[in-house]
Amino acid sequence: MAKGHISSLLAAILIIFFSSPLATAARYNVLNYGAKPDGRTDSTQAFLAAWTQACESIMAATVHVPPGRFFLQNVAFQGPCKNNAILFRVHGTLVAPSDYTVIGNTENWIFFQYVNGVTVSGGVLDGQGPGLSACKASGMNCPSGATSLGFCNSNNIVISGLTSLNSQLYHIVINGCQNVKVHSVTVSASGHSPNTDGIHVQLSSGVTILKSRIRTGDDCVSIGAGTTNLWTENVACGSGHGISIGSLGKDLQEPGVQNVTVKSVTFTGTQNGLRIRSWGRPSSGFNSIVIDQNYCPDNQNCPGQESGVKISDVTYQDIRGTSATEVAIKFDCSKKNPCSGIKLKDVKLNYKNQPADASCDNADGTAFGFIQPSSCL
Ligand SMILES: *[C@@H]1O[C@H](CO)[C@@H](O)[C@H](O)[C@H]1NC(C)=O
């Protein structure tokens, strides 16, 4: 009897063990598919093969990338997958081709599309961008460059503990996604590298960016058309251009920007702190958040110079830092569609150790707490 009890107990334990998620998560190590951590061998197909297995798995799956340098050309990890819990666990460094023409004409280097429940954790992405920056600086005809990590039309995404170095173009792009958490991410590129935005969000809802350090040659976080319910907190920006909403309203049919919160962000030597700008031309976009509603490069293609984009409900809270230009806060909104519902709370921005300037046109809102430069709302 006692023996029977013990064996059924054992069986129960075994069943619990093997049915726990840890015991059953399938694990696909890229080395088993031919990837080589030598920084030279093209591991693109090996990564794709490991991804395909993880995506086909009916249970939670991990793609495991061990330490080492893995050379990757542009690669698209496509869904939909048969499970919605794929962990891309990276210990090593993914290295882009040093010849910028190889991926420079593709939109993305590492790209996820139509996936649900994907986490990219850890690792370093080395976009090898300086060659392309040098080409652009020389005035030659150069490719526009690839975004290092792109997520498109995907839901329930986590990007954590990742370091992105020297992208050719944007570092991270979230486009057409819902429920995305970006946290503990480090972005680093030269202050002189053009269009190397840290994190660009568009046509997406429920994106949260937490505890990250972003040093680039362009926007720290850029918020494009169709962004709603974005939360940014505890982000250190600098160098670069600061946090920008826009340019919005470039297209006639363009969704607006709604409910954006920027909280506890520090700016160090950024060109601006916060900037909202929208194209000075008609657009059906509404409720957006940009600080220049008369944006019109070279005064071309902006009939009437009146922005059709509406910007509302933008909160900036606990923002501090230094601006590289005198005007640290610029709300340049259109007469036809003034910005509304802008809230400033506890803001301290300097320019050359003096309080910076703020400028407001057609912007309505409220200021609370300590505000420097004094609010122009
Ligand atoms: C605004 O966005 C936050 C997330 O960033 C969300 O928690 C909140 O419910 C949203 N508010 C409205 C009115 O949608």
Residue 243 belongs to some domain of the structure: no
Residues 180 and 151: their CA atoms lie apart, in Å, by 10
DSSP secondary-structure letter at 324?
S
Residue 238 belongs to some domain of the structure: no
Residue 10 belongs to some domain of the structure: no
Residues 335 and 174: their CA atoms lie apart, in Å, by 31
CATH number at residue 64: 2.160.20.10
Distance (Å) from CA 69 to ligand 1 centroid: 40
pLDDT over 50 (residue 294): no
Residue 240 belongs to some domain of the structure: no
Establish how many alpha carbons lie within 13 A of residue 101's alpha carbon, considering only the half-sphere containing its beta carbon: 3
Q: What's the structural domain count of the chain?
A: 1
Annotated catalytic residue 241: yes
Domain range holding 87?
Answer: 25-201
CA-nearest residue, atom 3 of ligand 1: 229
Closest CA to 128 of 164, 81, 175: 164
Distance (Å) from CA 229 to ligand 1 centroid: 5
Phi-psi region of 127 (alpha: psi -120 to 50; beta: other; left: phi over 0): alpha
pLDDT at 272: 63
CA-nearest residue, atom 8 of ligand 1: 229
Q: Please state the rounded mean pLDDT for residues 256-262.
A: 81
Distance (Å) from CA 259 to ligand 1 centroid: 6
pLDDT at 355: 86
pLDDT at 211: 97
Q: Please state the rounded mean pLDDT for residues 23-46.
A: 93
Cα 62-65-66 angle, rounded to 5 deg: 125
Neighbour count for residue 65 (Cβ, 10 Å): 25
Q: Please state the rounded mean pLDDT for residues 112-141.
A: 95
Residues in the chain: 377
pTM of the model: 0.82
CA-nearest residue, atom 2 of ligand 1: 229
Cα 274-275-278 angle, rounded to 5 deg: 155
66-110 pLDDT per residue, tens:
999 999 999 999 999 999 999 999 999 999 999 999 999 999 999
Q: Please state the rounded mean pLDDT for residues 126-154.
A: 94
pLDDT at 290: 31
- Using DSSP's 3-state secondary structure scheme, residue 43 falls into coil
Judge whether 211 and 234 are in contact, CB under 8 Å.
Answer: yes
Q: Is the CB of 53 under 6 A from ligand 1?
A: no
Establish how many alpha carbons lie within 13 A of residue 89's alpha carbon, considering only the half-sphere containing its beta carbon: 14
Q: Encoding tokens for residue 222?
A: 């850029």
- Using DSSP's 3-state secondary structure scheme, residue 366 falls into strand
CA-nearest residue, atom 13 of ligand 1: 259
The H or E element that residue 130 is part of is helix 130-137
Residues 6+ apart with CB under 8 A from 374: 355, 358
pLDDT at 53: 97
pLDDT over 50 (residue 301): no
Residue 297 belongs to some domain of the structure: no
Residues 82 and 100: their CA atoms lie apart, in Å, by 35
pLDDT over 70 (residue 242): yes
Residue 36 belongs to some domain of the structure: yes
Residue 73 belongs to some domain of the structure: yes
pLDDT at 361: 84
Residue 214 belongs to some domain of the structure: no
Q: Which atom of ligand 1 is nearest to the CA of 259?
A: 1
